Amino acid sequence: MLDLWSLKVLVEVGRLGSFSAAAEELSMTQPAVSRQIATLERHTGVRLFERLPRGVRPTDAGRAALEQADEVLRGMRLFETRMRAFATAEAGRVRVSAFPSAATSYLPDRFRSFAARHPDVELSLTVRSGEHDPCAAVLDGEADIALLTSWDTPGPPGTAGVVLTPLHEDELLVALAVSHPLAKGRRVRLLDLAEDPWIDGTHPDCLGPIARLEAALGRAPRISHVCDDWNGRQGLVAAGVGVMLYPSIAGYSAIRPDIRLLTPSPSLPSRTILAATLPPSDRPPAVSAFLTMLTSPPPAP
């Protein structure tokens, strides 16, 4: 069977037209190069080079062999380059699963930043509905990274076989229509919204398990609408038919111009955004690189 080194010797002899020049290029002796070509000729059963008084010249069979050998060596270089890329996070794929508000601006901004640094990594995003278990998606191989909140982890963070990495402290604001009587300031007393209809959504983009909200309102929130679509919920707020909680992870650039965001008084407890992944030893380099970027300061706009 032919080996790659023999093909390398063949190509260098053809390129330089000389056994001695090829020997110098490859740090070999001239007799060793000559023996290598002779072995190739015995193996193929054809003469590859005409020996001239000064140098060598490929035969017709030699020219065909050179063309084929060059193609094989290029393929091997491509193979090595691609494998190194996977080992250094320059290629591969990262599949991210997230809830709607995280997909509004938080992840798109980070996708843009990561793609600029790793243009050959394939990124994909799946926006999941509330009933799907983000950790199960990682364990089942459906996602490489799944975003979830501390509302999903009432105990110490951690699920068997999954690593949870804190990413972001998510402040909860109140969204009102600009026409709302309380929308003119920067803060709003939750007690003053006790009689307002509230808009709920799919977990974790919902009112959440916040006992403090109920205490501040003096009653359970009066939920008049349940809408899973992020844009639809904003539309309901803008129409003045209800108010809702707005997580800061959704980003301020994504808010409609006919909606005002106010800080609630008293403030509501923030929730932690976490990334669920497999342990480091089981993660491809590109996934680890994306996770590292998620834990870094946010990219410049």
CATH code for the domain in which residue 71 is found: 1.10.10.10
Report if residue 93 sits inside a domain: no
Q: Over the stretch 110-121, which tens digit does the pLDDT of each residue have?
A: 999 999 999 989
Q: Do residues 180 and 240 share a domain?
A: yes
Q: How far is CA 32 from the centre of its chain?
A: 50
Instruction: Locate the DSSP E strands across 171-204.
Output: 172-177, 187-189, 197-200
Task: Mention every residue, 6+ apart, whose C-beta is less than 8 A from residue 239.
Answer: 177
Q: What is the per-residue pLDDT for 22?
A: 93
Most confidently modeled range among 74-83, 143-152, 259-268, 282-291: 259-268
Residue 289: which domain range? 100-166+274-294
Task: Name the pairing type of β-strands 259-265 and 187-189.
Answer: parallel
Mark which of 52, 87, 122 sits at the end of a domain: 87
- Mean pLDDT calculated for residue range 99-105: 90
User: d(Cα 35, Cα 245) in Å, to the nearest integer?
Assistant: 79
95 within a domain of the structure (yes/no): no
Provide the mean pLDDT of the chain: 88
Q: CA–CA separation, 274 vs 163, rounded Å? A: 10
Q: Per-residue pLDDT tens for 212-230?
A: 899 999 999 999 999 988 8
Instruction: Say how far apart CA 109 and CA 90 lie, in whole Å.
Output: 19
Q: What is the mean pLDDT of residues 92-106?
A: 91
SS3 for 127?
Answer: strand
**Cα distances (Å, whole numbers) of residue 243 to 54, 71, 105, 264:** 90, 65, 21, 12
| Segment 57-87, tens digit of pLDDT | 999 999 999 999 988 988 887 677 566 656 6
| Domain presence at residue 180 | yes
CA distance 291 to 106: 14
Residues 128 and 248 in one domain: no
The Cα 271–Cα 247 span in angstroms is: 9
DSSP 8-state secondary structure symbol assigned to residue 1: -
CB 225 within 8 A of CB 144: no
- Residues 117, 249, single domain; the answer is no
What is the count of structural domains for the chain?
3
**Could you tell me if 181 and 239 lie in one domain?**
yes
Amino acid at 61: A
**Is 287 found in the same domain as 140?**
yes
- Alpha carbon 77 to its chain centroid, in Å, reads 27
Looking up residue 149, the CATH number of its domain turns out to be 3.40.190.10
**Looking at residue 85, what is its pLDDT?**
54
Q: Residue 23 falls within a domain, yes or no?
A: yes
pLDDT at residue 155, as a whole number: 41
* Residue at 37 is within a domain: yes
Cα–Cα separations (whole angstroms), residue 35 to 42, 48, 181, 258: 10, 13, 93, 82
The Cβ of residue 296 has, within 10 Å, a number of other Cβ atoms equal to 11
- How high is the pLDDT of residue 210? 84
Q: Are residues 159 and 176 in the same domain?
A: no
The span from the CA of 108 to the CA of 247, in Å, is 16
207 and 284 inside one domain? no
